[in-house]
Each structure stands twice: as C-alpha cells, then as structure tokens.
Structure 1
Amino acid sequence: MSRVSYMTDEGLKKLREELALLESVERPKISRQIAEARDKGDLSENAEYEAAKEAQGLLEMRIAKLKETIAASRLIDESKLDTSKVQIMNKVKIKNLKNNAVMVYTLVSESEADLKAGKISISTPIAQGLLGKKVGDKVEISVPAGKVPFEILDISL
C-alpha cells in the first residue's frame, strides 16, 4: 500500500479527470491500434503490434498508479489550515541568505507539484527543511548544490 497523500479538492479532481480520460479515451484508442496491427498478419515481425502492446502496458501502469494515488488520498480541510508555522498547503516566502534571492513556494502533495506554478512537493528537501518552522526562523537546508541558508519571511494561505 502506498503512503497517504494529502491534497486539495482541486488536485484530487484533476487526478480523477486524468484517470477518466485514460480509461475512456486512451485505453480504447490503444485497443484499436492493437487490433489494426493484428489484422496486418504475422505478429512475430510486426513492429506496429509490438509498439501498441508496449504503449498499452505503459498506459495500464499509469492507470494503476493513478488509482493507487486516488485511493490513498486524503482531502485537506483548507479552513483548518494554520499560518503560525509552515505546513502543507501554506504559501511560504523565503529568502536565500547566500544570494538574497526571495522565492515564494506553496507546499503541496507530490501529485500536485508544479515548479512553474510555484508549487513544490512536500517531500522535497526544501519543503522538509521548512516544515514546522515559523516566520523569522533561519534554516540551513541540504540541497544537491550543498547546504543553503534560508530565512522564512512570510507564511500565508
């Protein structure tokens, strides 16, 4: 069994929509491709058939992973979130004390992470280093480039 994944209603809705698309559109499409390739004759030398079967395997793996994630998901009651210390679903404004760069990240579940949108997974080293800290706290976080000092400037929803 996978570990519990906390997420927003919006994040869970996106996963369910993706699952529905894969099951109702992509799965039948690949089945048709396999049937068409099978109709072309000798399967032992049919590259189209092999490619379609491989695509089917990858699709079924993705469907299984989505079902597992959805089953292990727990919705977060956003009305009960607190901004006195860093926790999942908080927007955290931090300052890199080495280069004075200021960044804003929202800590989210792995399935909702999107760096371009400023959403980082709760399992990343930066998020792990920030959890439980308060505004004004200074933390040193180990990242692939080494240890980086940060100061927490603001915590919001």
Structure 2
Amino acid sequence: MAEKEVILTLEGLKKLEEELELFKTVKRREVVERIRQAMDFGDISENSEYDEAKNDQGFIEGRIITLVKMLRNVRVIDKVERTDIVALGGKVRLKDMDFGDEEEYYIVGSAEANPDTNRISNESPVGKAALGQAKGAIVEVNVPEGILHYQILNIM
C-alpha cells in the first residue's frame, strides 16, 4: 500500500528535519542514560523509573520511525505563483458572513496545520472549501454545528 504524501512548506520541512535530528541524537541518548541509571537501582521488576524510561524510549523510537516515513513521502510546496485563486501554500483572508469577523489563514498540508497560528490544513473544512476559489467568492463550509459562509476577501 502506498504511503500518504506529506505536503510541507520549506519551513515545515526544515522543522521536521530538525525534530528528527533532535530525536535521533539528543533524545535517544538521554533516554538510554535514564535506562542505565534506573538499572543501577537494582531490581527492575518494580522500578518505576525504569518503566517510565522504557516507555519514553518506545515513544522516541516510534516518533523517529514516523518522521522518517513522513520525510520519505514529502512534497514541498515552495512558493505560490498565482494569486487569483486560493492555493495550497498560499494565504487567504476570509470574512465570516454571519458574524462579520475577518481572519487570515495560511493553507498548508495536514502535517503543518496549527490553528493557533492560523495555519489550516488543506484537508480541513475551511481549507477544502476555499481551495480553488477566486477573490470575492462565497464558500459554504460544512461543520458539525451546521453550515458557515465565508467570503474570500484577498488572496496572497
């Protein structure tokens, strides 16, 4: 089965590569040292420090595997050439037609999405609805609470 393509900006690619390097070097060494110290306490059958360190080791190794797979399937979106339609890797300013609020979003792949920094996924309801639309278009967004309406004010 083919693995899912991971869409990243150059910034997102750099962050994933840095995270992988951190886990492979620093985090891995730290947990091995914690395991060694916990084993020095003696009987590991009732040693909570050892159990915790082994659990952390499993998490670290799992994250390394995940990051390697993600990086193997990366498609980098470098720069948006067109600003006449909403595109992956671009910014869009939307107006909530029901409440009048305006928000600016950067549309990225799901691996980089972070609503706290207005980076929304192309797979999110708002991202999906906005992609491919032109300035001035009104899009409908299906959410669990109903249907929201947004107008595309600007594409950057």
Tell me the TM-score normalised to structure 2 length.
Answer: 0.93
1:77 positional shift? 3.4
1:100 positional shift? 0.8
Which portions of structure 1, spanning 4 or more consecutive aligned residues, are displaced by more than 4 angstroms? none
One-letter amino acid matched to 1:86 = V
Gaps of 5+ in 1: none
For 2:146 and 2:63, the matched residues in 1 are separated by 34
The residue number in structure 1 matching 2:123 is 123
The residue number in structure 1 matching 2:29 is 28
SS of alignment partner, residue 13 of structure 2: helix
1:126 positional shift? 0.7
One-letter amino acid matched to 2:39 = R
Describe the superposition over 1:73-129 as per-residue Cα deviations: whole angstroms up to 9, x where unpaired.
Answer: 112231x53112111011111111110111110101122222232211111111011
The residue number in structure 2 matching 1:96 is 96
Correspondences of 1:44-59 after superposition (within 5 Å): 44-59=45-60
For 1:81 and 1:2, the matched residues in 2 are separated by 28
One-letter amino acid matched to 1:137 = A
One-letter amino acid matched to 1:58 = F
The residue number in structure 1 matching 2:139 is 139
The residue number in structure 1 matching 2:41 is 40
Question: 2:113 aligned with 1:113, yes or no?
Answer: yes
The residue number in structure 1 matching 2:19 is 18
The residue number in structure 2 matching 1:2 is 3
SS of alignment partner, residue 34 of structure 2: helix
Q: Taking every aligned residue pair, what percent have the same amino acid on both sides?
A: 37
The residue number in structure 2 matching 1:151 is 151
One-letter amino acid matched to 2:127 = A
Greater shift, 68-77 or 25-34, is seen at 68-77
Describe the superposition over 1:10-50 as per-residue Cα deviations: whole angstroms up to 9, x where unpaired.
Answer: 21011101110111100010001111111211111111111
